[in-house]
Amino acid sequence: MPYFNKILIANRGEIARRIIRTCNRLGIETVAVYSDADEDTPFVREASEAYSIGPSQASKSYLDINKILDVAKKSGAEAIHPGYGFLSENAKFAKSCEEAGITFIGPDADKIELMGDKIEARRHMKKAGVPVVPGWDGQLDSVEHAKEIANDLGYPLMLKASAGGGGIGMHVVQNEAELEKSFSSAKQTAGSSFGDDTVFLERFISKARHIEVQVIADNEGNTLHLFERECSIQRRNQKVVEESPSPFLNEKLRGQLCESAVKGVKEIGYTNAGTMEFIFDDDTGDYYFLEMNTRLQVEHPVTEEITGLDLVELQLRIAANQPLNITQDEVTKSGYAVEARLYAEDPETYFPSPGKLNTFKLPEELGRFDVAYEEGNTVSPFYDPMVGKIIVHGKDRNEVFDRLEEIIEQTEIEGIKTNLSLFKELVNESDFREGRYTTDYLQTRKQGKEEVK
């Protein structure tokens, strides 16, 4: 039985193309929506049908719920895949789809809402017996109250917006004076960015590894993990390199981590694909739940490469109310996979570099390239700087990094700056190569380089 006849993709770029590929294989028609800036990009042409939804600014196109639902109705799409970013974790959008009689390919709106509230998420995970970062889940009424709580918890601490996530709206506070300084601005930023000024305190883990677990759950209570992804190579709290398996975990710890993830997901009755993010304290080896992303992630391909599963197909299957056709024992991993995110930016300063891709040549036979653009396209200034992802799968870490290096050498990009050179450097650094790194790795190596200068 086919999952759907026709679906709409409420996204752009590489993830829209990625979803189209699976739909083509399954014989599902696709409807693309695009802004002015994206008119000439590949996903618009590759979809079965494409509709303009207006201006380049995301707020006037990709984030406009009414426009997207209008196209869905007009085109006869039965379901909407939100991709990642944009409306993918917008509970109101998921609810609006439901009310319009269109299937939202993702979890139920109330689960998005629950996990979007970081304090509520912590409470539920605690209840499930999943370790959470030591912290305070209650209200922080005033700066005086925050100071009292902070003294009990001990510094350094992280002040976070409850409605935040993805590294936005976080302040590290080392002592009472810093807490006093950050408290009101953190509340204000939270209020203006997320429409909710609730903030909370967590212990700040200075030497941390970020490891996440991919989960998938159907509507009949089958909940599986698809192993972990190591995502500690980050710049400005944004991931740059992801790999699986994590070089840090042994089989015992991997088993515990994946079990914690499944326990947490079952506790809230979550369905469809999701990611449980954990932080590992490099000093103690303890791990804690950080947040859950209630959507497909950018880095899902590394999981696909090691498990041989198509995550978009699994999402479609569950959204079509069909049970998973695999069991936990049948989910196996093979070899090693890495993903390098190609960003249009200066590799040293991270300064954005939009512009025309005068040359864009990739050695297609050497890896998997999930990219938004082709030669001659303009990398738009309106959306995030990710041009695409280079994904390599091989028998072990060494083989994968050697191939990544070969890919970088054979890739030709002209017209914009990219961080391609960063990957070339990384694969030749012994700490990176041997998996000895924490989330401050890119920052620390940069400081090291500056001191040498």
Residues involved in catalysis: 295
Cβ within 8 Å of residue 148, ≥6 positions away: none
Question: Of the candidates 354, 356, 425, 433, which one interacts with other proteins according to CB under 8 A?
Answer: 354
What's the closest the beta carbon of residue 36 comes to other proteins, in angstroms? 9
Give the angle subtended at the CA of 351 by the CAs of 56 and 382, to the nearest 5°: 5
Q: Which tokens hold the place of 115? A: 């996990």
Going by C-beta distance under 8 Å and a sequence separation of 6 or more, which residues neighbour residue 413? 357, 359, 360, 361, 420
Residues 88-117 that bind other proteins (CB under 8 A): none
If binding is defined by CB under 8 A, does position 352 make contact with other proteins? Answer: yes
List CB contacts of 94: < 8 A, sequence separation 6 or more: 104, 106, 107, 108, 109, 112
State the binding string over 373-412 for other proteins (x if CB under 8 A, else -): --------xxxxx---------------------------
Residues 147-206 that bind other proteins (CB under 8 A): 192
Residue 56 interacting with other proteins (CB under 8 A)? yes
User: Which residues, in sequence order, are CB contacts of 419 under 8 Å at separation 6+?
Assistant: 240, 341, 342, 343, 345, 347
Q: According to the binding rule CB under 8 A, does residue 139 interact with other proteins?
A: no
**Candidate list 344, 390, 392, 422; residue touching other proteins; CB under 8 A:** 344
As beta bridge partners, residue 51 has 33
Q: Which range binds other proteins by CB under 8 A, 1-9, 49-57, 178-186, 368-376? A: 49-57
131 binds other proteins per the rule CB under 8 A: no
Nearer to other proteins, 29 or 299 (CB): 299
Q: Which residue in the block uniquely carries the two structure tokens 């970081």?
A: 118
The H-assigned helical ranges of 164-209 are 176-194
Closer residue to other proteins (CB): 269 or 355: 355
Buried-state track 275-313, b at ≥16 Cβ within 10 A, e below 16: bbbbbbbbeeeebbbbbbbbbbbbbbbbbbbbbebbbbb
Closer CB to other proteins, 63 or 366, in the complex: 63
Considering the complex, state which of residue 157 and residue 199 has its C-beta at the smaller distance from other proteins: 199
Give, as one character, the DSSP assignment of residue 440: T
61: region left, alpha or beta (phi > 0 left; psi from -120 to 50 alpha): alpha
Question: Binding of other proteins at residue 57 (CB under 8 A)?
Answer: yes
Count the site residues for other proteins by CB under 8 A.
Answer: 14
Smallest separation, CB 352 to other proteins (Å): 4
Q: Which is nearer to other proteins, 156 or 354 (CB)?
A: 354
Smallest distance from other proteins to CB 380, Å: 8
Shortest Å, Cβ 169 to other proteins: 13
Interface residues toward other proteins, by CB under 8 A: 55-57, 192, 344-345, 350, 352, 354, 381-385
